[in-house]
Structure formats: C-alpha cells, structure tokens
A and B are shown apart, each in its own frame.
Chain A
Amino acid sequence: MLHYLKVWLASARYSVTRTMMFRGDFLVWSLVEFFWMGVNVLMVSVIYRHTDSIAGWNRNEMLLLLGTSMLIQRMLMGFFWSGIFEMGRNVRSGNFDFFLAQPGNVMFMATTRKVDPDGLVNCVVAAALVAYSAAELGLRPGPGAIALYGCMLLCGLVIHYSILVLSVSAVFWLTSAQGVEGGYFTLAEFSRLPREAFRGVKSVLFVWLLPVVVVSNAPARVLLKGFDPLWAAWLAGLAGLWFALAVLVFHRGLRRYASASS
C-alpha cells in the first residue's frame, strides 16, 4: 500500500511540475472547466426564470445538487481523467505495453499516472457553489455532517472512476473507445437531477440499476435533510459493487490486449 502511495506521489509531483512548465495551457484548461461549470449554472438559472420548482426542488437546492455533482466530477478530472483518457488511446496504439512493464497493478498504474491541477483548482469553485447555495438556504451543517458529506463524495468519486474505467475498457473490444468514453459524460448528466424527478422505468434504470442519480443525491441530502443511514449504506454498497465490476471488466479486457507496437 505504501509502495503505491509512493508511486502515486511521484506521479503527482511529476504532473504538477509538468503543468507548471506549461502555465498557459494550465490557465486555458482551468478556464475550460470553469466555463463548463458556468454553462450548467446558467442552464439552471434560465430554467428557474420560468418555473419555481423542479421535482419539488427550488433553485438553491438544485444549485447545491449541481455543485455536489460538479465537485465529484472535478475530483475525477483532477485525479484520474487524463490517465484513463490516454489509456484508450494507448491500447489502440500499442503504447499500453509501457504500463504492463511497470512494477505494480496495471489498472492502478494506467489510471493514476497523471494528475491535472486544473481540475483540482476548479474543485474550489464547485465547493464555493455548494457553500453559496447552502448559505442561501440557511443551512448550518455541523462538523459531523460535513465529514459525512466528504465521505460520501469519496464514494461518489469511486463510482465515477469505475464508470469511466468501464467505458474506456470498451477499447479492448472495439477499435476505438473515442465516443464511448463520452458515454461517461452522458451518464454523469443524470447526477445533476434530483431523485424525485425520476419515475417509473426511469427510476428503476437510473436510480436503482445505474448509480448515476444516487452518486450526487446522497451527499446533497446529508446537507439538505440530514443523515439517512439507508442512503449512506446504499451509496457505499454501490461504490464497492461498481469498483469490483470495473476491476473485473478491465482485467477481462486486458486479456484481449495483443499490443500493436512494432
């Protein structure tokens, strides 16, 4: 475990040093993430110009949910996105051989190799959105609630990571995962919607079968409505289940990898 922590710290240090060498690029990518968050906030604001409630949630509650969803996604972007994104390209080009030759778990080595400080910078913006909407709602969560919220965000991060690894692992079967990895972003859209908006088949599929709604709704509820053991257990269970599935599919795919380099 300590060995992996040291490997990750070395990779993170390298990523930060490299980012500081391309400061202009860092600025542009920070703006990219910031703009996309702005787009989502704008969408919520425009809709609430014409209505007072979405599935019983008012504007500030929706912003808190949106901030929570974005916080998890920014953490994913910061810690894992580049590594997983490049994994798809590396498998296609044969450069994935590099990871097979490294002294450690292939999935760990391939998915944690790069850290993007621009994604992490925008975590602050997403956290500020959560803090702003909580203040507007008059919420005063105690240290316990905040700690629980943090734990649930981590569970959400595990779920997002697993979905992304599953999406990109398709590259082992398809010629290219380009577009398929975009499926992650499509599924992530569900996490910006309140659970009450899902009814019938949609509720079964997106609330119960896929963890795309609970991933953000569970932590947001801790701040909005207090601790609910059922939601907490559900989220933790899903995190374990989806991580196990991602590990399984990744290693199944790895068996198909035949290397494409010369």
Chain B
Amino acid sequence: MRVALEKYRQAFLVGLQSNIVYRWNFAVRGFFSLFHLAVVFTLWGAAFAGSASIGGFDLRQTLTYFVTLLVLQFLISAFNEDYQISEEIRNGLINQFLLKPINYFLYRFSIFVAARLVTGTLILLPLAVALPFIHDSLVFPAEGWRYAAALPALLLSAMIQFSIAYCFGMLTFWFLEIQGFVILSMAVEAVLGGQMFPLDLMPEPVFRVAQYLPFFYQMYFPAAILTGRLGADQVLPGLAIQACWVVALLAVNQLLWVRGLRRHTAVGG
C-alpha cells in the first residue's frame, strides 16, 4: 500500500513541478479572469438596476455566486487534462504505462491534483488584488454547516470534473480528434453547470431536470451551497446524487479504458 502510494506521490510531485514551470501562464490567466468578473459585475449590475431582486436574490448575493464560481474554477475544474490524455494516446506515450505497474487513471489524477493545487493557489493572487474593489459586493451566509457540507461537495465535484475530462481523453481510442467534442461539452457544461447564470434562474421544470445531471454537480452545487442558493434540505440528497455520479463516471472511465485498450495498437520501441 505504501509502495503504491509512493508511486502516485512521485507523480504528484512531477505534476507540481511541471505546473510550476507554467506559473506565469496560470497567473496571467488568473488576471484575465478578473476581466471576466468585470463583465459579470457590469452585466448583472445593469440587470439589477431595474429590479432589487432577481430569482429571490439581490445583486450582492448574485455577484458573490460568480466570484465563488471563479475561485472554484481554478481550484477544482479540469483545464486541459482531456487534451493531455488525448495527446498521450495519440502520440503513443501511453505505451509506457501499459508495461509498468501503475494505474493510468490514478497517475493522471495525481497530476490533476497537483495542477489544481498550483492554479488554486495562483488565483489567490489576482483575487487579492481585486478584493479591495469587490469586497463590498460580497456577502457570504453565516451558517457554519454550509462550509462543512461544501467540503465533500467540492471533493466530489473535482472527481466529476476529472472523470468527465478523462472520459473525453479516452475517446481518442476511437476518434483522431476530440477537441470538438470537448468544446461542445464545455458549452453544455457552461449552461447546465451554472457558469453563465445561476441555474435557479431557469424555469422550475428545467431546474428540476438539471438537478439529476452530472453537470449540476460540477460547479453549481458546491457554489450554491457556499453562497446560500441551496437550502439545508437540498444538500444531503444532492450529495447522494453527486456520489452516485462519481461512481457512475468512474465505472465509465474504467469501461472506456478497457475497451479502448483493445483497439489500441502500440508501434515502435
């Protein structure tokens, strides 16, 4: 067990080093995301000019939701893991893992955790710069249970994010080019994951259906817990559905890996 853990610890450390190489890249990306916040603040500020409350929430609560979402994006979401996996399959780099006693999923997951540690830390930098300007617009609920419930929700969200990216990476066994599928799914995730607008602003029947989809638990669910958009009675059932999605996606990951390897041809030495 310890030996096994050591392997993934090393993968984690390698991931940490390779992501720190691109620290300026991530930092610039983080600073650009402040422009996205400026868009959000402008758009929603203008929308709230005509009404004090939208969907039962005021402007500050809505802006807090989007700021939380931004931080979560750097902390738990998959960036280009699907592309990296796809490249490893396409270029044959994956062959080296087939002959070694290492689980490819855990290897990639270790690197994913390392990458999010780096990006999650780096987003604090632009956020610290922006905080004096935006702190008046932020209002977090005082209930302590929200933070306790958000922790497992965040961990499960990270698992869902990575598993979906892994699934798309695995598609390379069948398709030469997967970027189209990835960006197509990003459009779906942007809407059903609550990145464009809080999901509770959608018509009630659509919102109900969305609650049973994995995208709901990618970003919206933990953000809604932290910003008070979900009640206490919705959290436990939500966590249960989220856990079910993690199990289902892990099963799909394994299925795609096994089926994909059957199609895979390793050439060269």
Interface residues in chain A, defined as those with a beta carbon under 8 Å from any beta carbon in chain B: 22, 25, 28-29, 31-32, 35-36, 38-40, 42-43, 46-47, 49-55, 170, 174-180, 182-183, 186-187, 189-190, 193-194, 196-198, 202, 206
- CB pair A190–B39 under 8 Å, yes or no, is yes
The answer to whether the Cβ of B54 comes within 8 Å of any Cβ in the partner chain is yes
- Chain B residues with CB below 8 A from A31, complex form: 180, 184
- CB pair B26–A179 under 8 Å, yes or no, is yes
- In angstroms, Cα B196 to Cα A40, docked, is 8
Q: Which of A38, A51, A206 contacts B54 (CB 8 A)?
A: A51
- In angstroms, Cα B38 to Cα A180, docked, is 17
The answer to whether the Cβ of B209 comes within 8 Å of any Cβ in the partner chain is no
- Chain B residues with CB below 8 A from A175, complex form: 21-22, 24-25
- CB pair A51–B177 under 8 Å, yes or no, is no
Residue of A nearest to B195 (CB): A39
Query: How distant is B52 from chain A, measured CB to nearest CB, in Å?
Result: 11
- CB pair A186–B32 under 8 Å, yes or no, is yes
- Given A28-B181, A202-B42: A46 touches B201 (CB 8 Å cut-off): yes
- Chain B residues with CB below 8 A from A174, complex form: 24-25, 28
26 pairs, CB–CB < 8 Å, chain A vs chain B: A32-B183, A35-B188, A36-B187, A39-B190, A39-B196, A43-B196, A46-B197, A47-B47, A47-B54, A49-B201, A53-B50, A174-B28, A175-B25, A178-B25, A179-B26, A180-B29, A183-B28, A183-B29, A183-B32, A183-B35, A186-B39, A189-B39, A190-B39, A196-B46, A197-B46, A198-B42
Q: Classify the secondary structure of B's interface with A.
A: helix
- Given A35-B187, A51-B47, A189-B39: A170 touches B28 (CB 8 Å cut-off): yes
Shortest Cβ-Cβ A-B pairs, 5 listed? A28-B180, A179-B29, A35-B187, A197-B46, A183-B32
How many residues on chain B are close to A (CB under 8 Å)? Answer: 39
Interface centre among A51, A177, A182, by most chain B C-beta atoms within 10 angstroms, is A51
- CB pair A54–B43 under 8 Å, yes or no, is yes
- CB pair B39–A179 under 8 Å, yes or no, is no
- In angstroms, Cα B38 to Cα A189, docked, is 10
- In angstroms, Cα B197 to Cα A49, docked, is 12
- Given A29-B180, A39-B190, A42-B196: A206 touches B50 (CB 8 Å cut-off): no
- In angstroms, Cα B65 to Cα A119, docked, is 33
- Given A50-B201, A178-B80: A38 touches B32 (CB 8 Å cut-off): no
Q: Mark B11-34, 1 if CB is under 8 A from A, else 0.
A: 000000000011011101100110
The answer to whether the Cβ of B51 comes within 8 Å of any Cβ in the partner chain is yes
- Chain B residues with CB below 8 A from A177, complex form: 25
Within 8 A of A (CB), among B60-102: 80
Residue of B nearest to A50 (CB): B54
- Given A50-B201, A197-B43: A42 touches B191 (CB 8 Å cut-off): yes
- CB pair A43–B197 under 8 Å, yes or no, is yes
- Chain B residues with CB below 8 A from A28, complex form: 180-181, 184
The answer to whether the Cβ of B142 comes within 8 Å of any Cβ in the partner chain is no
Query: How distant is B164 from chain A, measured CB to nearest CB, in Å?
Result: 16
- In angstroms, Cα B183 to Cα A28, docked, is 10
- CB pair A54–B46 under 8 Å, yes or no, is yes
- Chain B residues with CB below 8 A from A25, complex form: 177, 180
- Chain A residues with CB below 8 A from B29, complex form: 179-180, 182-183
- Chain B residues with CB below 8 A from A53, complex form: 49-50
- CB pair A197–B35 under 8 Å, yes or no, is no
- CB pair B187–A38 under 8 Å, yes or no, is yes
Q: Which of A22, A39, A51, A194 contacts B187 (CB 8 A)?
A: A39
- Chain B residues with CB below 8 A from A183, complex form: 28-29, 32, 35
- CB pair A186–B33 under 8 Å, yes or no, is yes
- In angstroms, Cα B54 to Cα A40, docked, is 19
